Amino acid sequence: MGGVTSSVAAKFAFFPPSPPSYELAAAEGEEGEGGGGGGGGVRVYMTEVPRRANVEVRRLPTKRGTEILAMYVRSPAASGSASGPLTLLYSHGNAADLGQMYELFVELSSHLGVNIMGVV
């Protein structure tokens, strides 16, 4: 019975927002382009959040055939070692909404002076 209880509790505690706070649209002419995000996946943008030149959103394919949505925020102030600027990987694995995390990522990047790769 304990396994059933934890399974039911997990469904209530970690559920994806429905509907999401954003919709995705293709970023025309930008598919497969490089940039700080590594150039993988299909570049898209979120229609319900402000578009910024330093923010890149991509659909990344997985080995299992699904897609993960990732956001890369480039900071002009990002510096670091001789090997390049510092990038913080922010992974929030319990079905958070990337649209709701958007402003947090932009602010973190600005205040910390680092690039942010957000995957939720």
Closest to 47 in 3D by CA, of 29, 70, 24: 24
Please give the structure tokens belonging to residue 17. Answer: 């927002």
Does this model's pTM top 0.85? My answer is no
Rg (CA), the chain: 16
**Which stretches does DSSP call E strand in 13-62?**
24-26, 42-46, 55-61
Token digits for 78? 């990002």
Which of 85, 67, 84, 83 shows the shortest CA–CA distance to 75? 85
Q: What is the pLDDT of residues 15-74, one digit of tens each?
A: 667 788 888 888 876 544 444 445 578 889 888 888 999 999 999 998 999 988 899 999
DSSP reduced 3-state for 13: helix
